Amino acid sequence: MDTPAFRPGRKRSSCGAGQGVYNKALEDRTRAWYGEQRRLSYVQSSAALTEWKKTEGLAFLTEVSSVPLQQALRHLQAAFGNFFAKRAKYPRYKSRKRSRASAEYTRSAFTWRDGRLTLAKMARPLDIRWSRPLPEGAEPTTVTVSRDSARRWFVSMLCEDTIAPAPATGAAVGLDAGITSLVTLSTGEKIANPRHERRDRERLAKAQRELSRKAKGSSNRAKARVKVARVHARIADRRRDFLHKLSTRLVRENQTVVIEDLTVRNLLKNGTLARAISDAAWTDLRMMLEYKCAWYGRELVTIDRWFPSSKLCGACGTVREKLPLNVREWTCDCGAVHDRDVNAARNILAAGLAASACGGGVRPQRESSRTGRSSVKQEPQRATAGIPRL
């Protein structure tokens, strides 16, 4: 079977060579297992790599550093380890169009001197625009050079650093995720949704139309594909920057942050709201809150997704039977007037603080799936105490 990464006529690089070695080693392992019921180890793949370099068609592997090639084999070994441990699916081939090209260099394959990085088999240091300096006194142990689909090159350096906990504060906040307002805080503040994808939708549609008109396999189609990728990269970069600033602010200002355990994968099944939910990137925000709270000594509390945060009256505790999404403000029988999102955020905060204080949690009683429950903001009518899903 021909390995796509080793097609003739391709420009060779450490990234491309590493990708090709990964694919060829995967091909050999697959053939050995399904054809001979025999497993190949990393040592055997490494020995095979030495033989590949001696063949006429693969002699270009000697032109790049051997370290990224060996690292590619180690990554493949880790992928098979996860597969056999049933933590992942069977390893797949790396695609030139879909996979992020990368090359990993360990300490013996690069030089870091006076703030300048020189990789193995390079005569001069790389010309890099640093996004931030390395921690004081830190020495990089691993360098990863990668290129995304928009043909932008990145250098990532791994080094040890100690993050000091942030000064303690007595503040706590509950977050209610939404679409019109990206996040509503229990303080009453609403963080507007920037809608980055919508702002660039026309530019993206134009680039995609141009791509669809190009002949498949042509160089013009490749150029058009890069234009589409650059629009996507612009949207993703702006979204990530906004979420980083928001999550950092929330973690710095509050000792306890309470969020809902939303299943975004299920919510995306709603065809009407899927595009807006994807643009909101709630999963990315939660991930950032998780590791930043761990960094700075904060507490992140996650309440059950079935907790009726929107339908629960924060004044009397009554749970409303129905509350359609188009109802943004409602009045309880006790006379309390609630903003839907602010009320939900305050209820989330109260439930999270109760769970954190007593070691218990909030787990509402779930109704049968036969009732045809909507996949958007699923909230039951009754709640019972239980074990928190943290």
- 187 lies in the same domain as 144: no
- Does the residue 207 lie in any domain? no
The C-alpha atoms of residue 215 and residue 221 are separated, in whole angstroms, by 6
Q: Is 232 exposed, middle or buried (0-12, 13-18, 19+ CB in 10 A)?
A: middle
pLDDT for position 99: 66
Please tell me the number of Cα atoms within 13 Å of 264 on its side-chain side: 16
- 107 lies in the same domain as 247: no
The C-alpha atoms of residue 322 and residue 339 are separated, in whole angstroms, by 15
Output the six-digit token pair for 186: 């229990």
Selected catalytic residue, list 176, 197, 279, 379: 176
pLDDT for position 9: 35
Domain that residue 89 falls in: 14-158
- Does the residue 142 lie in any domain? yes
pLDDT for position 318: 87
Position 369 pLDDT exceeds 60: no
Position 268 pLDDT exceeds 80: yes
- Does the residue 353 lie in any domain? yes
- Does the residue 291 lie in any domain? yes
- 125 lies in the same domain as 178: no
70-92: pLDDT as tens digits: 999 999 999 999 999 999 999 99
- 129 lies in the same domain as 29: yes
The better pLDDT of the pair 382, 238 is held by 238
Position 375 pLDDT exceeds 50: no
- 147 lies in the same domain as 265: no
- Does the residue 327 lie in any domain? yes
The C-alpha atoms of residue 309 and residue 260 are separated, in whole angstroms, by 9
Q: Reduce the DSSP state of residue 184 to 3 states and report it.
A: strand
pLDDT for position 179: 87
Please count the structural domains in the chain. Answer: 2
Selected catalytic residue, list 260, 279, 304, 379: 260
- 182 lies in the same domain as 103: no
How long a stretch of residues is the chain? 390
Selected catalytic residue, list 104, 279, 304, 341: 341
- Does the residue 199 lie in any domain? no
User: What percentage of the chain carries pLDDT values higher than 70?
Assistant: 88
- 78 lies in the same domain as 178: no
Confidence of residue 50 (pLDDT cuts 50, 70, 90): very high
pLDDT for position 388: 30
Output the six-digit token pair for 261: 């355990």
Is 95:122 a contact under the CB 8 Å cutoff? no
136 among known catalytic residues? no
Q: In 3D, which of 231, 225, 227 has the Cα closest to residue 201? A: 231
Q: Is the dihedral of CA 167, 171, 175, 181 positive or negative?
A: negative
Q: Which residues contact 380 (CB under 8 A, 6 or more apart)?
A: 306, 308, 364, 365, 366, 367
Position 361 pLDDT exceeds 80: no
Please tell me the number of Cα atoms within 13 Å of 208 on its side-chain side: 8
- 183 lies in the same domain as 327: yes
- 182 lies in the same domain as 324: yes
- 96 lies in the same domain as 184: no
Could you give phi then psi for residue 337, rounded to 5 degrees? Answer: -100, 125
Output the six-digit token pair for 90: 């069977």
- Does the residue 215 lie in any domain? no
- Does the residue 363 lie in any domain? no
132-166: pLDDT as tens digits: 888 888 889 999 999 988 989 999 999 988 888 99
- 92 lies in the same domain as 70: yes
Region 90-110: mean pLDDT is 87
- 284 lies in the same domain as 176: yes
Position 220 pLDDT exceeds 80: yes
